[in-house]
Structure 1
Amino acid sequence: MRNFLGSLMAAALLASGALAQPYIMMPDSTNNRIVTFDPFDGSVMNPNLFALAGGTPIHAMVVGNEIWVSEQGGDRVSRWSMTGTPLGQIGTAGLDNIRGMGLVAGTVYVTNAGTANGAPGNAVVMFDTNGNPMGSFTTTGLAPSPFGILAHQGGILVSSSSGNNDIHKFNLAGGSIGAFHNSTSLNFAEQMNYAADGNVLVAGFSSNNVVRLDVNTGALIESFAASGARGVIQLGNGNIMWTNGSGAHVFNVTTRTSSLVYSGGGRYLELVPEPMSLFGLGAGLALLARRRRKA
């Protein structure tokens, strides 16, 4: 009986995906593929998880049990299984020159800058998690040429490649709350992510840096040099991974130096957590229990 229970739990954990390893994923827009990195130290795990369809991929993120990839040149969000089977697309109708995305409170927010294909210009376009359109809201004059989305204190932050605001805050329906950050220390803000201390990391493409901003006030705390920075995420060991047109780099917070860890077209970085599923665990247990009763 003891051996049976041990086998039961092990098989259930396998069924739930609990033994799968978390990873950071990044679209390589030069080689058109998904690359994965170790979330603790930033080392390359898989340089080619699966091939992408082109279209200048910017941001890959998990939506349900799919990976959605924004394509800046393709004017669409391509949809993939977790192992790279193509599942269709959102767009091109209603999207043009899209960049970063965010899944916040069950809504997928996609940054948009163009007007081709019936797209709304400088705006954030919204979809449900099945890909159905939910409207859009303009960012003109607030976050012109939007580039990234970050959930923030019940609303969202939208980064911008041009003024007036480097980062502007909106409520979830698109109403303006106000400027989060606007200074000469940050120029052409791309990806935003939370640091381990709860503050906000931002990749500055034209300011050639990564900045850390106070999560409540948006005030600058510190920065480090990062030429043409696009993506950013903090690693489990405390160092900071950032990307640019040359690839992915790791900034050592002790030595204050960066090292290239992957060569290619670096874009946004997204953590894919350990896929523990209580539903999967329960299903695995039930399945094995039925088999045991029949034996």
Structure 2
Amino acid sequence: MKFISRGMFALGALACAGLAGAQTYDLFMAETPGGFLGGNTASYGGLQRYQVTAGTATLVGTLPNSSLSDPVGVVVSGGDLYVSNRHGNNTGVSSIQRFGIGPASLSGGAALVTAPISGFHGFAFAPNGDLFVTTVSTGTRRFRPDGLGGYTDIGGVGSGQVRDVWISPDGNTMIETGSGGMIVRSVGANSLGTGTAFNIGNSFFHQMAFRGNALYTAANATGNIYRVDLNASFQPISATVIGNVTGALGVTFSPDGSEMWVGSTGTANNSLNRFALSGNNWVLQQSVSLGSVSPGYLAAVPEPMTMVGMGLAALVVARRKRKA
């Protein structure tokens, strides 16, 4: 499935830039109009793809709304791009699509999950392969691979307005965002523990991003961006304001963790905002105006030619080790 191009991809140049510096990467952004859109498919958003080189983001392609179904969440896992569709929030059907990431196009797009649930938002893969998906009003659902390329709903939280979910690297802790902050639950083989609230502020929190044993998330109403530090058991212990962008909603980091992107949504301030780490402080470096496009969640990934180069380098190292 090809993007509608808004710029020429010079493949040779991209390959050289990607292999020469870790800070050439792709940034994906869901276009997410707010509110209940129902069956008004003409109002559904698409997907934008930016190439970030030396700190500058350039729009290089879009995926039209006809290829999606009201997207919100974006996750990169195993070299593929996954997109959650809320289907207007109130039509009673949600889905997650999977795309292969190529240098100038996305391939595939088949739905891995289609469920009679309203309003999929953020989602995360657990170490065992289970897929956890937040919904607009019915808590977090848990899906398990069925061995046939799809997923089966095995339960979850019965209610609650949550907007993103994170699973700890050891697979034992689940953290959700929603009204007022976070909810922390233990994760069993086939069950979830009772939720414990970690209050941050009087706002609705959406996407989370993990970096340096901390979760970063934004308060949409106030625009405050928080770093939530975790203890050794991945439990939240403190929250610190590290920046502010009016209407902040989506948060992600560059592949090397030195740049943070925050999506700002609202009729007067739709934008993508890049922060760079200076000492212990995150400093706003760039704002990309999005006009009437409202950003949803974000995901960054090394640009495809970089991933190819990294794979080739790993192969060379492995061959040298075998010869040694």
Q: TM-score, length-normalised on structure 1?
A: 0.71
Matches of 2:275 and 2:77, distance apart in 1: 29
Amino acid at match of 2:168: H
Instruction: State the partner residue of 1:175.
Output: 192
Q: Does 1:32 align with 2:35?
A: no
Amino acid at match of 2:217: V
Instruction: State the partner residue of 2:100.
Output: 81
Residue from 199, 211, 214 that aligns with 1:199: 214
Q: 1:22 to 1:179 in 2, by over 3 A?
A: same
Deviation at 1:124, TM superposition (A): 2.1
Secondary structure of residue in 2 paired with 1:268: strand
Q: 1:213 to 1:40 in 2, by over 3 A?
A: farther
Amino acid at match of 1:111: T
Deviation at 1:181, TM superposition (A): 2.2
Give unpaired runs (5+ residues) of structure 2.
1-14, 34-44, 89-93, 320-324
Structure with max Cα Rg: 1
Instruction: State the partner residue of 2:64.
Output: 51
Amino acid at match of 1:136: G
Matches of 1:247 and 1:99, distance apart in 2: 20
Q: Does 1:211 align with 2:226?
A: yes
Instruction: Write out per-residue CA displacement over residues 148-172 of structure 1, whole angstroms, 9 at most, x where no aligned residue.
Output: 1223252343333325x53323315
1:1-295 equivalent positions in 2, closer than 5 A: 22-29=25-32, 32-38=46-52, 41=55, 43-52=56-65, 53-73=67-87, 75-82=94-101, 83-105=105-127, 106-114=129-137, 121-128=138-145, 130-138=149-157, 140=159, 144-154=160-170, 155-162=172-179, 166-171=182-187, 173-176=190-193, 178-179=195-196, 181-184=198-201, 187-195=203-211, 197-216=212-231, 217-235=236-254, 236=256, 238-245=258-265, 246-251=270-275, 256-257=283-284, 259-263=286-290, 264-273=293-302, 274-275=306-307, 276-277=310-311, 281=315
Number of equivalenced pairs: 255
Matches of 1:249 and 1:221, distance apart in 2: 19
Give unpaired runs (5+ residues) of structure 1.
1-13, 115-120, 286-295
Q: 1:139 to 1:213 in 2, by over 3 A?
A: farther
Deviation at 1:134, TM superposition (A): 4.2
Instruction: Write out per-residue CA displacement over residues 186-232 of structure 1, whole angstroms, 9 at most, x where no aligned residue.
Output: 6211111123x432211221232110111223311333222221111
CA contact 1:29–1:54 (8 Å) conserved in 2: no
Q: TM-score, length-normalised on structure 2?
A: 0.65
Q: Which has the higher contact order (CA 8 A, sep 6+)?
A: 1
Matches of 1:39 and 1:180, distance apart in 2: 39
Instruction: State the partner residue of 1:293.
Output: none
Amino acid at match of 1:240: M
Q: 1:223 to 1:66 in 2, by over 3 A?
A: closer
Deviation at 1:76, TM superposition (A): 1.3
Deviation at 1:98, TM superposition (A): 0.5
CA contact 2:132–2:140 (8 Å) conserved in 1: no
CA contact 1:56–1:71 (8 Å) conserved in 2: yes
Amino acid at match of 1:109: F
CA RMSD of aligned residues (A): 3.5
Q: 1:200 to 1:65 in 2, by over 3 A?
A: closer
Amino acid at match of 1:251: F
Matches of 1:47 and 1:179, distance apart in 2: 42
Percent identity, aligned pairs only? 17
Matches of 1:237 and 1:90, distance apart in 2: 29
The structure with the largest strand share of the pair is 2
Matches of 1:231 and 1:49, distance apart in 2: 18
Matches of 1:160 and 1:98, distance apart in 2: 14
Instruction: State the partner residue of 2:6.
Output: none
